[in-house]
Structure 1
Amino acid sequence: MNKITLSLPLFFSFLLIFLSGCSSLTNNHQQITEHQNITERTKKLTAMSNWKIKGKMGIISPNERHSLTLNWHYQGDKNRQMLNLTTVLGIQVFTLESVNNMHVVNVDGERYQSPDLNTLLASLTGFTLPTHAMTFWLKGLPYLANDKITSNEITQLPQTLTSFSDEKKWFIKYGSYQQVDQYQLATKFTIKQDNITIKINVHQWDVTSNDSD
C-alpha cells in the first residue's frame, strides 16, 4: 500500500489557522449552567450511541504536521460509522465506512478493506488514529476499565484521561465544555501518545438522532 503524501509546507501554514481559529458553535450548543454529577453524566453519555461531529483536526509528529477538516458520523446502535477527512482546501485525504467491524477506506481512488482499522489506517496514512477508542474518549468516557480520569472539582467534568489502545498509552486533555441538548460535551481535545499529538476542535456536535431511538 502507498502511504498518503501531503504537502507539509502547505499543511504547516494551515495548521496555524487551525490552532488560532474556530468557527462558531451551532445554536444547540449552550454554556453549561447546571452541573451533573459524575454518575449521572456517565449514564447519559454511555446511552448516547449516535452522534455526528464537524470540526478541525491537527496531527503533529516530529516529521509531519497536518491540518484537516473532520466529519464523523457514528451510529453505535447500528455498529456503523462514516469518517471523512479533507485538507483545508477541500482535497480528499480519505473516507472511511465501517459496518459490523469491517472497514473500507478509500484513498486516491483506491479501495482498501480490513477488519483491523488501526493497522489499515496506519499503513495508508503513516499516522496512528485510534478511532474505536476515540468514540469513548470524545465523550469523556474510559475506553478500558482501568483507564484513569481526573475531573474538575467544581464542575465534575473530565479534565484528563489516561487510556490504552493497542497496548499504547494515550493521554487526553479536555477543554471548553458546552451543553449540547441534554449532554455536556467537550469541544476541544488534545490527544497524545509518545511524540504524536492529535488536536481536535469540534465546531458542531449533533446528537439529535438519539432522541428518536
Structure 2
Amino acid sequence: MKGLMRKNWRVLAIPALLLLGACAQLPAPTGQAQLVLPAQQRAQVLASVPRWTATGQASLRSSRGSQSFGFVWRQQANSEQLRILGPLGNTVAELRDDGTQAELLEASGKRLTASTMSVLLERVLGVTLPVAELPQWLLGIPPAGQVDAYDAAGLPQRARWGRWQLQYLRFDAVGGLQMPALLQASGPDDLQLRIAVSNWQLGQ
C-alpha cells in the first residue's frame, strides 16, 4: 500500500425515519420481507439522516500500483471519521474532521493536522481522492443533474462527479432503504476506486 499503508434505504402511517431502526445492517435476514421506499423518497430520507456508519473494503489502482484496505466511515452531524484498516483488521490510520480542522493519527502514534481530510488521506494512500464527496458517493445520492443513467427502480446507475465517473453495481435493502453495496469510480490519472460496503448502520 502506498504512503503510510506501506508502514499500516408509499410511506405508511409511521414516520419514514422509523423504518431505519436504531441500527440497520447488511445482510437482511433470509426470507424477511422489507418495505422499500421509492427512489425519490429514499434520497430525501437519506439527506435527513445526520449520523451513519459504513464498513467495508476498498481497492485502489493507480499508475503507482494497486492496494486494498478495509475502512470504517462514520458520519456525524458536524464531523466525520475514517479508519483505514490493514489485512488483519488492525487500524493503520484514523482520520477525523470536525469542520474546522482535520487530524490524522498514524499507527505509530504520530499525529498530524491539516485544513482538510483530503490532504491527510493523500498521505495515507498516496493519491488524491475527493474526500468531500465521498459521503454522497457512499449513500448513493448524487445530484439529479449529474446522473447519466437510472435503473428500473429509479436508483442511480451511472453518475458524474467532477472528473470522476461513478457506477453503482449493486444496492441492498437496509431497513427499508436501498443502500449501495458495490460501486466503482474512475478518476483522473487513471485512478480506479472500487468500494464494497458490507455493513450499514443508519441513525447512529
Q: Which band: TM-score by shorter chain?
A: 0.7 to 0.9
Task: Please give the per-residue CA displacement for 1:49-96, whole angstroms capped at 9, x wherever unaligned.
Answer: 211111111111122211111111111x2x111211111123433111
Aligned to 1:172: 166
Unaligned residue ranges in structure 2 (runs of 5+): 8-24
Task: Give the SS at the match of 1:189.
Answer: strand
Aligned to 2:93: 94
Amino acid at match of 1:90: G
Aligned to 2:184: 190
Matches within 5 A, 1:1-213: 3-4=3-4, 6=6, 25-27=26-28, 34=36, 36=38, 38-75=39-76, 77=77, 79-107=78-106, 108-142=108-142, 147-152=146-151, 154-164=152-162, 169-194=163-188, 195-209=190-204
**TM-score, normalization: structure 1?**
0.75
Structure number with the bigger relative contact order (C-alpha 8 A, sep ≥ 6) is: 2
**TM-score, normalization: structure 2?**
0.78
Task: Give the SS at the match of 1:6.
Answer: helix
- Cα separation, 2, equivalents of 1:121 and 1:201: 19
Provide the aligned length of Structure 1 versus Structure 2: 183
- Cα separation, 2, equivalents of 1:130 and 1:93: 20
* 1:48 to 1:182, Cα distance in 2 relative to 1, 3 A: farther
* 1:33 to 1:131, Cα distance in 2 relative to 1, 3 A: same
Percent pairwise identity = 21
Task: Give the SS at the match of 1:155.
Answer: coil
Deviation at 1:173? Answer: 0.8
Deviation at 1:34? Answer: 4.5
Contact kept, 8 Å, 1:103 with 1:116, in 2: the verdict is yes
- Cα separation, 1, equivalents of 2:183 and 2:100: 26
